[in-house]
C-alpha cells in the first residue's frame, strides 16, 4: 500500500493505493511550510491518517518545501514518527505538478492556485524556474494576486457599483472594515485568494474580465519571458482551472500554447505512482 498527499495552502488531497490497485481518497486541511508548522499540521490530521500508518511507501508534496531546510527536516521527522515505514519521499509542489502533468516527459508546468509558480521539467527534475517570491513581492497570476488586484480596483473606483455593493453585502462589511480585515488577517495570502470565487462569478463583467486578463498577462510576462522553445505550458491549480478560458485566451494573444489544465495534481500523481509500482 502506498499513500500520496498533495498539500496546498488551503487543502491537502490524499490517494491511497493498495496491492489490488484499489484507490481510496480523502481530503484534509492544507499546509504551506513557509507559513504553517508541520507538527501542528500532522497533529490536526492524525485521525484521518491513522488507518494508513502501515503504508509501505509515502509520497508527500507541499508548497514551500526545500531539501535540508529546518521546516523540511521537521516535516520529515514528523512523518517518520507517524508512519511505520522509513520509505518516505517529500517533494515540493512544482515536482507534484510536473509528475502529474508531464509524467516522465519534458515540459513546462505551472501552478496557479493560492500562489503561483512556473518551471521547466526535463522528465526527472526541475531545471529552470523564475523565483515566485511569495504574495508580497510576486506570485503574479495567483489567487492572492487576483484578490489583491480586485481589491485595488474596488477601492480606486474601477469596478461597477453593483459589483461593489455585492462585495460588501457578501462579506457583511463596510469599505473601511474590508480594508481592516485584509491587514489584520493571520493569513492574508489565503484571505486575498478567497476573493477568487467572487471574481469568477463576475468575470463576464467587462471591468472584471479586463482585470483578470491583465493579471494573467503579467503572469506570462514574469514567468515565461525566457521561454525559448515551442513546448506548451501545462497548469494545475484552482485559479488556472476556474479561469481557464481567460488564461488560454491570454496565452493565444501572447503566442504561448496552454496545454492541460487540472484543478489539482492528485489524480495525475496517483497515476504516476501507480504506474511506478
Question: Does the pLDDT of residue 19 top 90, yes or no?
Answer: no
**pLDDT for res 61:** 94
Answer yes or no: are the C-beta atoms of 142 and 135 closer than 8 Å: yes
Q: Which regions of the chain does DSSP assign to beta strands (E)?
A: 2-7, 11-17, 23-29, 57-62, 88-92, 107-112, 116-121, 126-129, 233-236, 258-262
Q: How far out from the chain centre does Cα 77 lie?
A: 24
Average pLDDT rounded to a whole number, residues 14-40: 83
In this predicted model, which residue has the larger pLDDT, 82 or 141? 141
Rounded to the nearest 10°, the torsion over CA 52, 55, 60, 65 is 100
**pLDDT for res 267:** 93
Over its C-alpha atoms, the chain yields an Rg (Å, rounded) of 19
**pLDDT for res 137:** 84
Q: For residue 53, give the 3-state DSSP assignment.
A: coil
Q: Is residue 8 very low, low, confident or very high in pLDDT (cuts 50, 70, 90)?
A: confident
Question: Does the pLDDT of residue 221 top 70, yes or no?
Answer: yes
Look up residue 108 and give its three cell numbers. Answer: 513546462
Question: Does the pLDDT of residue 268 top 80, yes or no?
Answer: yes
Q: Is residue 199 very low, low, confident or very high in pLDDT (cuts 50, 70, 90)?
A: very high
**pLDDT for res 269:** 94
Answer yes or no: are the C-beta atoms of 93 and 119 closer than 8 Å: no
In this predicted model, which residue has the larger pLDDT, 254 or 22? 254
Question: Does the pLDDT of residue 41 top 70, yes or no?
Answer: yes
Q: Is residue 67 very low, low, confident or very high in pLDDT (cuts 50, 70, 90)?
A: low
**pLDDT for res 277:** 62
Tally of CB atoms within 10 A around 107? 20
Span 115-166, pLDDT tens digits: 899 999 999 999 888 888 777 888 899 999 999 999 999 989 898 899 998 9
Answer yes or no: are the C-beta atoms of 216 and 62 closer than 8 Å: no
Average pLDDT rounded to a whole number, residues 100-105: 94
Mean pLDDT of the chain: 88
Q: Give the whole-angstrom CA distance, residue 77 versus residue 226.
A: 38
Amino acid at each position: 500500500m502506498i499513500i500520496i498527499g498533495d498539500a496546498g495552502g488551503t487543502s491537502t488531497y490524499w490517494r491511497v493505493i493498495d496491492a489490488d490497485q484499489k484507490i481510496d481518497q480523502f481530503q484534509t486541511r492544507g499546509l504551506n511550510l513557509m507559513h504553517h508548522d508541520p507538527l501542528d499540521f500532522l497533529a490536526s490530521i492524525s485521525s484521518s491518517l491513522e488507518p494508513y500508518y502501515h503504508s509501505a511507501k509515502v509520497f508527500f508534496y507541499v508548497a514551500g518545501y526545500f531539501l535540508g531546510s529546518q521546516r523540511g527536516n521537521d516535516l520529515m521527522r514528523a512523518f517518520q514518527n507517524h508512519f511505520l515505514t522509513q520509505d518516505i519521499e517529500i517533494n515540493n509542489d512544482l515536482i507534484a505538478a510536473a509528475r502529474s502533468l508531464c509524467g516522465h516527459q519534458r515540459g513546462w508546468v505551472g501552478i496557479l492556485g493560492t500562489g503561483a509558480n512556473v518551471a521547466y521539467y526535463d522528465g526527472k527534475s526541475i531545471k529552470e524556474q523564475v523565483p515566485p517570491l511569495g504574495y508580497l513581492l510576486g506570485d503574479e497570476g495567483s489567487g492572492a494576486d487576483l484578490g489583491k488586484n480586485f481589491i485595488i480596483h474596488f477601492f480606486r473606483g474601477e469596478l461597477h457599483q453593483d459589483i461593489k455593493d455585492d462585495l460588501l453585502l457578501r462579506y457583511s462589511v463596510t469599505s473601511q472594515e474590508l480594508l481592516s480585515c485584509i491587514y489584520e488577517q493571520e493569513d492574508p495570502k489565503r484571505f486575498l485568494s478567497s476573493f477568487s470565487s467572487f471574481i469568477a462569478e463576475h468575470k463576464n463583467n467587462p471591468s472584471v474580465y479586463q482585470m483578470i486578463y491583465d493579471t494573467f498577462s503579467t503572469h506570462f510576462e514574469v514567468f515565461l519571458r525566457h521561454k525559448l522553445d515551442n513546448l506548451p505550458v501545462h497548469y494545475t491549480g484552482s485559479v488556472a482551472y476556474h479561469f481557464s478560458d481567460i488564461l488560454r485566451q491570454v496565452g493565444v494573444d501572447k503566442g504561448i500554447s496552454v496545454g492541460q489544465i487540472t484543478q489539482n495534481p492528485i489524480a495525475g500523481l496517483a497515476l504516476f505512482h501507480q504506474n511506478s509500482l
